[in-house]
Chain A
Amino acid sequence: MARITAGVATSHIPAVGAAIDLGKTHEPYWQPVFAGYEFSKRWIAEHRPDVVVLVYNDHASAFSLEVIPTFAIGCAESFAPADEGWGPRPVPVVQGHPELAWHIAQSAILDEFDMTIVNRMDVDHGLTVPLSLMFGQPQAWPCRVIPLAVNVVQYPPPLGHRCWNLGRAIRKAVESFDDDLNVMVWGTGGMSHQLQGPRAGLINRDFDTRFLDGLTRDPEALARLPHLEYVREAGSEGIELVMWLIMRGALAADARETYRFYHVPASNTAVGHIILENPR
């Protein structure tokens, strides 16, 4: 039987990817950011997942305004890094897990989540930066990845509570998959940041801390936070944090916090990162 062992959440800032790709990780500006992931790299080397269900948002790379799926699951064999305007990131092609992806899609649809099934999709920094932060710069990613793209660009994005419930549906799906697989669910994006307009640069450490605390201790209450509060408190792009609730919903109620890291700033954004583990 497949089982979900852990959840990881992390910001997916494009400038962090650029710093890795351009060999700037030891510069004084970037050093504290990457130092915060040293523990995580060791941890994941010890807890090697077979498959990561990676929840992220596309940033007008694979999806323009022509088609805007709320929840899109990548069922392809592989996914190429997207050209976001300055050439694709020099990172390995992402290998999917079509059998498990299709299984999750079918199970979630029968659970009343109307997933969009995607058989061709390039993946942008939203997906590849978390892989780089956790795995460094290998020749090939050490696990299979199922991309789960969530719309947080066009309003309204899905409610936090919907994301939480989707996480629960993913857990049910994974636990009914016959192969013996170690599966992790990652939530990405956030934390507080605003990239647009005269209010750009907004950071809210108090909100972020409360969010990180609530994620472990009282996720059901956190899942009821309205969109307005995310935008008001965590900035317009802070709305990405709803995706972390999919990760949390996929874990057990008594999952415990293994690690946490928080740093301001990386470019325009507060970097947040947490590892939660299910009881064995």
Chain B
Amino acid sequence: MNLSLLLLLPVITCLAIVCCKGLKQVRAVAFTGAGIQLLLAFVLLVLFWQERSSGNAAPMLFKSGYVWFASFNINYHVGVDGISVAMILLTAFVVLAGVLVSWNTETMFKEFFFLLIFLSAGAYGFFISLDLFMLFFFLELAVIPKFLLIGIWGSGNKEYSAMKLALMLMAGSALVFTGLVGLYFNTAVTKGGAHTFDLLQIAQMQIPVQAQMLFFPFLFVGFGIFTALFPFHTWVPDGHSSAPTAASMFLAGISMKLGGYGCLRVATYLMPDAAHTYAPYIILLATIAIIYGAFVTMMQKDLKYINAYSSVSHCGFVLLGIGMLTKTSITGAVMQMVSHGLMTALFFAAIGMLYSRTHTRMVDKLGGLLKIMPFISTVFVLAGLCSLGLPGLSGFVAEMTVFMGSWQNPQMLYRLATILACASIVVTAVYILRAVGKTVMGPVTDSHYNSLSDGSWNERLAAILLFAGIIAIGIAPFWLNKLITPGVEIIMQQAGKAVTLK
């Protein structure tokens, strides 16, 4: 399959949206475009599967490449492994659901759908890139649309949040940029030889350990900002809670995963020596994020803030899994990325549906909604249960894998971190059950609510779509496991090589 289709399709959809008139046409085009994206992602999955089962064990499949800037040795080079396929599928799910929940956007709808689809192009481009320049290009591509989505269609203190998000993400990419340039100039095999940005080529090289030590923090922290690494997580709550529903879904569901994917694919994969050295620090920060995020969430009263802070905590598991550097823990980290992407998108979708009807997101003011809106409330409860890790749903599988992988490390510090991270689940249960229980159970707090309607077809479709993904992973995790394991093994080989060389 030609992977460039994944880029071409959103671009064509965007152009078609520009040419459309009226909300009906625009959303029909956006819906069709997003639908074909999902279809394409499934086709990719099937083809990938066939290729793998026919015995093709190459690290990246469906590769294609063209020379882009010959003088800097920059190429347009794409290819996927199991991890990228999982991420692409996640993106397709979230984008389609995002289009569906924004069905009735009235102000500047054309720009809204344009930016939403444009964002998806950035995400696909990021996940299929095998050239670091390209990867960086797509990483930055998505910053400005997010700024506009939050600034124009957001709520609350939206200008502040939009600016904070844009600047912090830009700071992240500035760090990534420095790291990439540093890496680039350390890629020459012989003195004076050509430098390269090619991911697979760099993976074959031995980057000098000193350079790794210097540039690994840049890359890891830079990507880490995208995925709410502890002291740099502050854009997450503001950005998520001010954003319109679809943008929140995209931000938490996909955008934060760009960071996790980058930490894994670029920082850890290309600089394994440094990854081993810095692992304790990563684990420390990730553990703080998990516990701190959970406790802060307990104090929140706004549903969107609850989900945003819980995202900080949940993305901590991703970083924890990466930092532990065992095969199981990294598999768990990838699973957690997929699972959290679906789950948080569903949560934000449900919150958006509630908010558009009741016009409040404050837990205190809501109550008894299960009687009035059974469908939406059920979705809300299910998303909550997935978040707290109920067996049978995706959250349980992912977190369990991370914990098991983490425990494989015999050192005391790592064990301690694992125990603390496990303990945070109790806190998660407290805030989720409290928020969900207060919102959907009990007496109806406001008589206005009695006249509200339940989910419309588009909202139901979006919720069912995301929930299908969650339950599929929850019941049959071996599918996802089988998909991503070969990719993880290659990363682990790289990390193992680093250890044996010492």
Is B truly associated with A? no
Interface residues of chain B, those whose CB is within 8 Å of chain A, are none
